[in-house]
Structure 1
Amino acid sequence: MKHPVGSGFVGEIEGLGLVDLVQFACLAGDDRKLSVLSEDNRGVLYFSDNEIIHAEFGELTGEEAFYRIMSWPSGTFSMLFASTNVRTIDSSWNFLLLEAARRIDEQYKSKMPSEEESLLPKVLVVDDSRFFTKAFIKLFEEQINAQVVGTATNGREALKFLEMQVPDLVTLDMTMPVMSGDVALKHIMIRSPAPVVLVSNFNDQHYSRMMDFMRYGCVDLVAKPTSPESWDLIGKRLQYLLLNVKEFCVDNVSRAKKLKPVDPATKEQPEKKAEKLLLILGGLGGMLELQKIIPALQYEHDMSVLVLQNMYPGIEQYLTAYLDNFTKYTATTSLQTNKLLGGQCLVGNCHGRREVIISDDGIPVLTGPESDDGMQLIDTDSLLCSAAEIFGTALTVLFLSGVKQNMKEGMEAVVTHGGKIILQDPDSCLLPRSLEELRALGMEECSLKPEEIAPYISNGISSGTA
């Protein structure tokens, strides 16, 4: 019996799938019209005598239109009593539903990443520039062999993405609309901790803000490319990060406190040769820890602090300028001087072959060029052996997160000459495995959390045991 148009109830039902609606319409046996709306797509199905007789979707009609409509995951519908004289479908409704299910399953499988793709590092690119976003996608997928799983034009979009998926690495622009990079980074480290690398223009105007990103928990900092050569350089650096990213322990990382500036007028000008040396070697994750250690060190007029940190080429001058604001030591780069003077903090990149020798005027100096590509890591054995021979019991060596070189010979030289070795506690490291391997050698005096290191060293200096 056919129901008159307009009779029955009108209402809303949530949670029904299209299959349920189609089955209901077919089993009812009436002439009905099912209109479906999903986002901007609209489709229509017609039923008569327990069968589907016609489907419309855009310019498509018949079975292909039916399969397209059935592939929609959600939407709204209305089902009315209506008839049509057009018939474009002759297959049974059971066959149509089975075929629709098969096609949906194939479509889902085609979108699933292959086994090879699923093993690739996953990256989220956050930048408001379409040009840089496209260029980074090309760089990651063609040169680095990584998978860009998402993009965002501001911090808010990045946070929404990270609520659903945490990638292996996030590249973050500094200045963006809606939510800037530093605000986004603070939220990321609290809500969805992930390895974040800052992509920034290096300049003297905002170097302090750049370094604040490291203080908030960035794992690395790279320059925004401006030439084919710089694209090649950033590609090598990002590839280096992704080779290590699976070992990152982001939950180990704690933000550095806001630092208190030192009055430049209170600083002494370094002039005399250093009688003691604090040698600090840092890898990935070490730059953050330097901001906790250097400003907290007790000033000693006869001690030189030598920092060799694995970082992107060009950062050393900005890291040096930043640290100089917060320490009584006069911070300078190894590009400006190679002398190891008392009351001076000399900062350089952890690349190339470096040694400590005594110059003709009797002053200890750091020799050896840095590598041009910023990738060849330092020959640590040579550095440690030469420093141990010159400074002996007045040498303290501190290893920070991510130091990866084989340095057993150099460490033995330090201990043999009466120097001491301190390790950052692996449980506080972004990249702990290398520190765990060094600790297994059993040559360190102690392993300390970053906040404990400066007081411990300063205590040893004051008591004359350094």
Structure 2
Amino acid sequence: MAIKVLVVDDSSFFRRRVTEILNQDPELEVIDTANNGKEAVEKAAKIKPDVITMDVEMPVLDGISAVKQIMKASPIPILMFSSLTHHGASATFDALDAGALDFLPKKFEDIARDKEEAIRLLQQKVKEIGRRRISRFSRPIAAPIEKQNLRKTSVASSSNDFNVQRKKTSDIRASGKKYKLVAIGTSTGGPVALQSILTQLPSNFPHPILLIQHMPAAFTPAFAIRLNTLCKIKVKEAENGETLKPGVAYLAPGGKQMLVEGRGAQKIRIYEDDGARVTYKPSVDITFASAAKSYNDSVLAVVLTGMGADGRDGARLLKQAGSKIWVQDEKTCVVYGMPQAVANAGLAEANIPLPDVATRIVREVGCG
């Protein structure tokens, strides 16, 4: 049965374009459109689509307000479309806080090599979020820390990759391993996941943190600023040549690759990657591989929600060097692709629900 989609945008041209693209895929069916947020709320309640694509800026009722009303009344997976501006990026993150699952720039060709790849990306994102159960997203999990109400329960994995019954986080002791770096890679659903983790880290966090999030270049500066405002640790967009410092999280710039180089006083290298061989810019694999070379066995790496398998090859190199790899569990992922690839390769030592990741990290590195 095809995934049913409601397309919402105040531009008739964009509604037609998105409808045509989605209907090219036999697994997708656009069953209706709406030209503002008010119509979207009404039609969502009436026709109950499996997925909604939603513009951020619209008349009558904007996309953020529409997301809030839809998630309160009857939660439905929502993919946001946003303009490539700082304001558009900030509004998009507000929509994710409100309960939207993922986003794309309105000019989504800007994050693909060609038109055909852009079409496939849109279709795949809609299918992936359309397959997820939405009930757990009815309450935003990415609100600022003082507003968080994260679940503290232990959830048994539905994946066959982990045969050991998961213990409660409070019962799990630190391994005693010594670390010098934490590295976190993610894609679809990542902004919400990263925000929920980073806002729980204490100001005395003892190591630098590398953040690799698949995201267009126009969005990473606004995302770094947002995180820095909400977090006790410092969060910034990584700059070429800067030395890694404890208690600072470095977000890889969109559209570029981030490496860590050197030993003892490791520095970040940011570079343009025009190679057709690498799909993701930034790439989790590339950053993880550089961390394995520079830090050897002193890395705690975490792979969160996301499509595809980026991070698996880099995690293998980290594992071979003696570092530790964790993944987010299937139940709390928006898309269980990247974590599953790492788990299926036998590289993950722990399979952790998102609400427990921060607590586990703090305990493992010895600052809580």
Same fold? TM cut 0.5:
yes
Structure 2 matches for 1:147-158, cutoff 5 A?
A: 147-158=29-40
2:82, 2:89 within 8 Å by CA — same for their partners in 1?
no
Structure 2 matches for 1:40-439, cutoff 5 A?
A: 119=2, 121-141=3-23, 147-205=29-87, 207-225=89-107, 232=115, 235=119, 237-242=121-126, 244-245=128-129, 247-253=131-137, 254-259=139-144, 276-300=180-204, 303-334=207-238, 336-337=239-240, 339-342=242-245, 343-348=247-252, 355-358=259-262, 362-370=265-273, 376-377=279-280, 380-402=284-306, 404-405=308-309, 408-439=312-343
Q: State how far apart, in whole Å, the 1-side matches of 2:275 and 2:50 are.
A: 28
User: Letter of the aligned partner of 1:210 in structure 2?
Assistant: T
User: Letter of the aligned partner of 1:280 in structure 2?
Assistant: I
1:139, 1:235 within 8 Å by CA — same for their partners in 2?
yes
Q: State how far apart, in whole Å, the 1-side matches of 2:194 and 2:131 are.
A: 21
Deviations along 1:157-216, one digit per CA (max 9) or x if unpaired, are 223322343434322122334433222212322433332111223433464432121122
2:185, 2:311 within 8 Å by CA — same for their partners in 1?
no
Distance of aligned partners of 1:382 and 1:201 in 2 relative to their CA distance in 1, 3 Å threshold: closer
Long gaps (5+) in structure 2: 147-178
SS of aligned partner of 2:80: strand
Identify which of structures 1 and 2 has the higher relative contact order when contacts are C-alpha pairs closer than 8 Å and 6+ apart. 2
1:143, 1:235 within 8 Å by CA — same for their partners in 2?
no
1:144, 1:235 within 8 Å by CA — same for their partners in 2?
no
SS of aligned partner of 1:345: strand
- TM-score scaled by structure 1? 0.60
User: Letter of the aligned partner of 1:221 in structure 2?
Assistant: F
User: Letter of the aligned partner of 1:365 in structure 2?
Assistant: I
Deviation at 1:280, TM superposition (A): 0.6
1:91 alignment partner in structure 2: none
User: Letter of the aligned partner of 2:357 in structure 1?
Assistant: I
Deviations along 1:322-369, one digit per CA (max 9) or x if unpaired, are 1111123332223x435351132211267676543228x943324543
Deviation at 1:307, TM superposition (A): 0.8
Long gaps (5+) in structure 1: 1-117, 262-274
User: Letter of the aligned partner of 1:281 in structure 2?
Assistant: G
**Percent identity among equivalent residues?**
23
User: Letter of the aligned partner of 1:151 in structure 2?
Assistant: T
2:163 alignment partner in structure 1: none
Q: State how far apart, in whole Å, the 1-side matches of 2:57 and 2:256 are.
A: 33
Distance of aligned partners of 1:351 and 1:423 in 2 relative to their CA distance in 1, 3 Å threshold: farther
User: Letter of the aligned partner of 2:208 in structure 1?
Assistant: S
Larger CA Rg, structure 1 vs 2: 1
SS of aligned partner of 2:296: helix
User: Letter of the aligned partner of 2:233 in structure 1?
Assistant: Y
Deviation at 1:445, TM superposition (A): 3.3
SS of aligned partner of 1:303: coil
SS of aligned partner of 1:172: strand
1:460 to 359, 364, 367: 364
Distance of aligned partners of 1:184 and 1:321 in 2 relative to their CA distance in 1, 3 Å threshold: same
Distance of aligned partners of 1:291 and 1:164 in 2 relative to their CA distance in 1, 3 Å threshold: same
Deviations along 1:262-319, one digit per CA (max 9) or x if unpaired, are xxxxxxxxxxxxx822111002111111110112112346521111112244211121
2:77, 2:130 within 8 Å by CA — same for their partners in 1?
no
Q: State how far apart, in whole Å, the 2-side matches of 1:412 and 1:229 are.
A: 27
Q: State how far apart, in whole Å, the 2-side matches of 1:319 and 1:237 are.
A: 22
Is 1:450 the counterpart of 2:354? The answer is yes
Q: State how far apart, in whole Å, the 2-side matches of 1:365 and 1:228 are.
A: 25
Q: State how far apart, in whole Å, the 2-side matches of 1:141 and 1:374 are.
A: 29
Distance of aligned partners of 1:373 and 1:389 in 2 relative to their CA distance in 1, 3 Å threshold: closer
Q: State how far apart, in whole Å, the 2-side matches of 1:374 and 1:316 are.
A: 23
Deviation at 1:143, TM superposition (A): 9.6
1:140, 1:146 within 8 Å by CA — same for their partners in 2?
yes
User: Letter of the aligned partner of 1:452 in structure 2?
Assistant: D
- TM-score scaled by structure 2? 0.74
User: Letter of the aligned partner of 1:325 in structure 2?
Assistant: T
Q: State how far apart, in whole Å, the 1-side matches of 2:241 and 2:76 are.
A: 37
User: Letter of the aligned partner of 1:244 in structure 2?
Assistant: E
User: Letter of the aligned partner of 1:291 in structure 2?
Assistant: Q
Structure 2 matches for 1:16-27, cutoff 5 A?
A: none
Q: In the comparison of the two structures, how many residue pairs are matched?
A: 331
1:356, 1:386 within 8 Å by CA — same for their partners in 2?
yes
Distance of aligned partners of 1:125 and 1:459 in 2 relative to their CA distance in 1, 3 Å threshold: same
Distance of aligned partners of 1:165 and 1:416 in 2 relative to their CA distance in 1, 3 Å threshold: same
SS of aligned partner of 1:325: helix
1:92 alignment partner in structure 2: none
